[in-house]
Structure 1
């Protein structure tokens, strides 16, 4: 009997148990693949998240919070710093480029960020916008590619922002109702006009709305003396120059100067610690899949002992019987592996927008990486290892003793 035909017949003979085994492998592979894509997305986002701006100047507080809010548009700012700090930073010969940033408002949960248009040239080079042009006057905005898609906004559209990172629907304190109502009126009376849509940048800037630095001052009617800024993005001339700038500014005690790469590394290390727990869960899933394969093949070995004994009496070798058992394990594992890779990529494709919106993790669901080879090799090795015990049992089978019984 042809070995492949014999293998397929055995797998199809026990459809339900074979299907359960394949599904357990599929779920495990898909979960591992999604975890791998998410981890790669975090690392790539951390690497490209801040561009050439090695320093950020902001109010005293958490360094991580300052960097996440400034570059990743996550969380609240640490506070404001005096606007004249920008002149001091730009006047320092250690600085190549510096841009003030203002935040605090949003439109449908997408942050409105005030920054000089030169920021885009410094960070991304001379890229063409998908539509329209960069802003030039107060009230004009450009929108990140992802935000424009989700908000269904086109060039020429207008909208009004709201205060805070997420608009509050219910007030916790009745005493604040009057102030919140006045603030709401201020935002409703200020209209933004969309002048352009940015190309896809594959950074957190894809989900932000950008306008002039003075937008917050215009919305709230602040005087020249009150015009604070949220932070300053600094591209130092050299790393040594960056250290000199940090020392000189922090001596004044009004601001903190943070090395962006260090704060991002702290976040990545925190994510790595969290991923260790996920790796434990992944290991448990792998063990369950291996046990599923083992139980399926042990049950199969018990059912097929007579068939195997008869094949031996008809002249088939021990190697043929062992190959049949190992081959069945490989078929079940390989089928689950292929389906798991497909399911993992499909899951990544359908979850990519949700992951980017809620966590800022940008995954590439159609990208093939070296992890695929590792996952495939590990899955097949697990399947073979689980097949060894029932294969050894069949190898030791005495066909004459079985026939007499």
Structure 2
């Protein structure tokens, strides 16, 4: 729904009931005491109708808010990754592997390629990202101390690693500083334990929360990853104790990806062009996410349409139910008409009663939406390791207002049907 029409729906939802109620008051009709009595007399039935409205609205707006929260969470997780350099292939596959730590089998970049990237003008950080091992479902990633400080400028506790067998864990890793653990080869159910000859890491620090899958990652020196896989450590034998860059191209075993950060933001564009060659692929994770988010935007439109269709079906069912519900007090309405109450007064009673159910149900639906959005956010965060904080915004309130506007108008139908019933027949029932 266009924004202009959504704003009109909100205004209409606020003004229409006030106009109708004002018209009742000016006409001398004050049906509120009778409406309150009807709400209390049939309170359990009324509660069912309001619950139906509340659940329909709450789940609909919570799902729409969740899509926006997931979009914001994925973008936040990719913020530290200015530019990724990898072997030519699928940018989306490498995005999920390097940024969101989804296991992938990707080719490696050679030492010559890494040296060219690291020594390029304006490059302030060229951190190798080597993955493939794990500990209790926590991915172990080989990189440098500079990479850790890039992801977490201030550690939550501990210090950076200063030897091959130190490890800095993410905020949600169930290890404490000083703990010792043994890596497994592979990730998940396919992980091979005791595959690295009893190599052990000691936790020396913990990163600040990032709201990304890196909160569950373990960062270790890339040299140790190469060594336990019986590969050169990136340094010549006479520099075997060196940790971190510069790496010797002749002893560099390869890395799946390189995180590149430029001294100036504008320089990233020049670096992307420079590193996009027959041997390398350079891309901005933010650009890939923008493409994915455009698809999610289409999904949002579909979800909004589904929510509207669901609410239309609920509205139709509710109107049918309200028409049936008016039969419960048809005899009372017939008695009012027999005593001389104007038809407009009876009409006002039925409409006010129906509109009250709609407004109370919609208000409860907003509360249900807030709760549902929080619950779904926790589930999505636990399943994806991406921090999702979804909450209702103006667009969700516009959707609720549109629903209220339409149903308040449709509430005139049960009121009209109640007036069309024969008075004598209802008095005899």
Residue 313 of structure 1 and its aligned partner are, at CA, apart by 4.8
Would you say 1:50 and 2:69 are equivalent positions? no
Conserved 8 A contact 1:36-1:371: no
Q: Distance in 2 between matches of 1:261 and 1:154?
A: 33
Distance 2:197 2:316 in 1: 61
Taking the TM superposition and a 5 Å limit, the aligned residue runs for 1:186-335 are 186-187=195-196, 189-224=198-233, 225=251, 227-238=253-264, 241-251=267-277, 253-314=278-339, 316-335=341-360
SS of structure 1 residue aligned to 2:107: coil
Q: 2:337·2:423 contact (CA, 8 Å) conserved in 1? A: yes
Residue of structure 2 equivalent to 1:136: 162
Equivalent-residue separation in structure 1 for 2:196 and 2:35 (angstroms)? 70
Deviation at 1:103, TM superposition (A): 1.1
122 and 226 in structure 1: CA distance in 2 versus 1, 3 angstrom threshold: closer
Deviations 1:230-276 (A, max 9, x none): 2111223456633433333333x222111322211122223333444
Change (3 A) 1:280 1:188: farther
Q: 2:404 is matched with which residue: 369, 374, 380?
A: 380
Residue aligning to 2:12 = none
Measured against aligned partners, the alpha-carbon deviations of 1:304-341 in whole angstroms (never above 9, x if no partner) come to: 33322333455655554334333333333334334434
Distance 1:111 1:336, change over 3 A: farther
1:41 to 69, 74, 94: 69
User: Counterpart of 1:98 in 2: which secondary structure?
Assistant: strand
Is the contact between residue 108 and residue 255 of structure 2 (CA under 8 Å) also seen in structure 1? Answer: yes
Match of 1:168 in 2: 190
User: With structure 2 as the length reference, what TM-score do the two structures score?
Assistant: 0.77
Change (3 A) 1:381 1:184: same
Other-structure match for 2:365: 340
Contact 2:97/2:103 (<8 A) preserved: yes
Cα distance in 2 for residues equivalent to 1:37 and 1:361: 16
**Across the two proteins, how many residue pairs are aligned to each other?**
384
- Summarize deviations over 1:73-130 as a string: whole Å, max 9, x none: 2342533211343321121114243222111122222222223232354455x43x33
Per-residue deviation, 1:44: 1.0
Work out whether residues 126 and 259 of structure 2, in 8 Å CA contact, stay in contact via their aligned partners in 1: yes
Equivalent residue runs for 1:72-111 within 5 Å: 72-76=100-104, 78-111=106-139
Counterparts of 1:257 and 1:267 in 2: how far apart (Å)? 18
CA pair 186-325 structure 1, distance change in 2 beyond 3 A: same
Distance (Å, rounded) in 2 between the aligned partners of 1:258 and 1:142 = 27
Secondary structure, aligned partner of 2:259: strand
User: What's the RMSD between the two structures over aligned residues?
Assistant: 3.2
Aligned mates of 1:188, 1:310 — CA distance in 2: 91
Segments of 5+ residues of structure 1 without an aligned counterpart are 170-182
Deviation at residue 188 of structure 1 after TM alignment: 6.4
Give, in whole Å, the separation in 2 of the partners of 1:119 and 1:321. 73
Unaligned 5+ runs, structure 2: 1-28, 234-250
Give yes or no for contact 2:82–2:260 (8 Å, CA) kept in 1: yes
C-alpha distance in structure 2 between counterparts of 1:140 and 1:214, whole Å: 11
Aligned to 1:104, the other structure's residue is in SS state strand
